[in-house]
Amino acid sequence: MVAYVLYGVVVLLLLVLLMVTGISCMKRDTEQWRTQDVRGPGEGWVSFQSSCYLLSTSTSMWSGAEEACQRLGAHLLVVNSREELVSTVGLGSHHWIGLVEWHQEGNWTWVDGTDYNLTPKFWAPNQPDNWALRKNGEDCGEIYNNLPLSRQIWNDADCSLKHRYICESR
């Protein structure tokens, strides 16, 4: 219950930011979004700087999350700054982001082609670790709020886990 309240507060704050900045996230045909049935109750697109974001209320494996974002003309979140990181995730939640290492172990890439080496890193301590106890390894990036550190951080996770996700559209 507390998680839903905190999630609602974050969505409300992002909506206030939208009103203050005056940036419209309705770049796409509203009918297209309505027919996609990805948005849940109380969920919608919000803006920050030059991007628009959709925080899902449903869960999916990483590949399903990226496919859902692509159906909306977006992609999973590509984190370009600490401000973007802080503005997109609610407390205590785990969300898929557009970070993956499918081609070669240790070679992380962003889904939109952004150069991973040129973006800031927000890995949790001792991450990524490709935890050997996971049958499928840990090749997909997730973001979550680490309460002891009081900040959002990244973790490498098994791509077959089901998490909420964040879509980004520019």
Domains of the chain and any CATH numbers = 2-169 (3.10.100.10)
Tell me: pLDDT of 30 over 50: no
Residue 42 Ramachandran class (φ > 0 left, ψ -120 to 50 alpha, else beta): left
> Distance from first CA to last CA of the chain, Å, rounded?
33
Of 4 and 63, the one with more pLDDT: 63
Q: How does pLDDT run across 61-89, given as a tens digit for each residue?
A: 999 999 999 999 999 999 988 888 777 66
* Under 8 Å between Cβ of 123 and 168: no
What's the CA gap between 66 and 11, in Å, rounded?
Answer: 21
Confidence (pLDDT) at 153:
86
Least trusted range by pLDDT, from 135-139, 152-156, 157-161, 162-166: 135-139
Cis omega before residue 148 (within 30°)?
A: no
pTM for the full predicted model:
0.72
Q: How does pLDDT run across 130-149, given as a tens digit for each residue?
A: 776 666 678 999 998 776 55
